[in-house]
Amino acid sequence: MDLEGKVALVTGAAKRLGRSLALALAERGAEVAIHYHASERQAHQLLAQLKRAGGKPIAVPGDVSQAADVDRIVEAAMQAFGRIEILINCAAVFYRTPFATLTEADWDRVLGVNLKGPFLLCQRVGAIMLRQGRGKILNLADIGGMKIWAEYLPYSVSKAGLIALTQGLAKALAPAVQVNAIAPGAVLLPEDTPPEERDRALRRIPLGRLGSPEDIVRAAVYLLESDFVTGEVLSVDGGQRLT
C-alpha cells in the first residue's frame, strides 16, 4: 500500500505514540482522522500542526469503550473523507494494579479501553474495509501481553487479548484486509517513572537502551506498506521479551 492519499483513523492520537504515528502518516501524504478522549488541548495542537502541513485532518472526541462513541467516531471520519483505508488502534490506559487491591472498576476500565475498544473499532471499520475491498488494521499491543506483569494484570490480559484479536481478525477479514500488531517494549516511559524503575527497565533490555517513537513508526510503516504480511505481532523491544 502506498500511503499517499490514503485515509487513516488513529485512536489515542493526541499524545505519545499515537501522536507520532499520526504525524508519520501525514508526512507520507495520508489524510488523518485523530481520536482523543481527555486530551483535548493536545489533540487540537496536533490538528493545527497537521493542517499546517497541508492536510485536511479532523479531530473527534470519544470513549472507545462505548459503542455509541465508536459509531460516532467512525461516522465522523466517513463523513469527512468517504472512506477509511487504515485503522490504528493506539488508545490505551496503563497504570499499576496490584492484585490485592485490584477492583472491578479497574478491570472494566482497562479491558474496556484496551480490548473492547479495538474490537468495536475493528468491527465497524472492518465492515467498511470489506465493502471497499481493501484496508489495513494495526493494533498497538505490548510485550506485557506476551510476558505477563503481575503488578499490571488487567493491562497484560488486555494486551494478550489484543494479540489474539489481531490474529483472529487476520483470518476473519482476509483476503481484503490485513491485520497486524506491534508489541512495543520500554518506549516512552511515563513521565513520573522513578529513576530506579527506569534503571531496572534498562537492565532488562539486551540492547541496553530505551526505544523511541521512531522505532515504532518505522515498524508501523513497514506493516502498513506491506501487502503480504497479516496476523503478525512485531515486537519492538530491544530484546526485552527474552529476559
Average pLDDT of the chain is 96
Domains and CATH numbers, the chain: 7-242 (3.40.50.720)
pLDDT for 54 equals 87
- Name, in order, each residue with C-beta under 8 angstroms of 175's C-beta and a sequence gap of 6 or more: none
Q: What are the pLDDT digits (tens) for 24-78?
A: 999 999 999 999 999 999 999 999 999 998 899 999 999 999 999 999 999 999 9
Q: Phi and psi (nearest 5°) for 19?
A: -65, -45
User: Which pLDDT score is estimated for 143?
Assistant: 96
pLDDT at residue number 191: 73
Residue 170 confidence (pLDDT): 98
- Distance (Å) of CA 198 to CA 98, 188, 194, 201, 215: 19, 11, 6, 5, 19
Residues 6+ apart with CB under 8 A from 188: 16, 17, 211, 212, 213
149 pLDDT band (50/70/90 cuts)? Answer: very high
The three grid cell numbers given for residue 177, joined into one nine-digit string? 484486509
The pTM assigned to this predicted structure is 0.96
What's the one-letter identity of residue 231?
G
User: What are the residue numbers of the active site?
Assistant: 155
Q: Which residues contact 52 (CB under 8 A, 6 or more apart)?
A: none
pLDDT tens-digit series, residues 169-224: 999 999 999 999 999 999 987 777 888 888 888 999 999 999 999 999 999 999 99
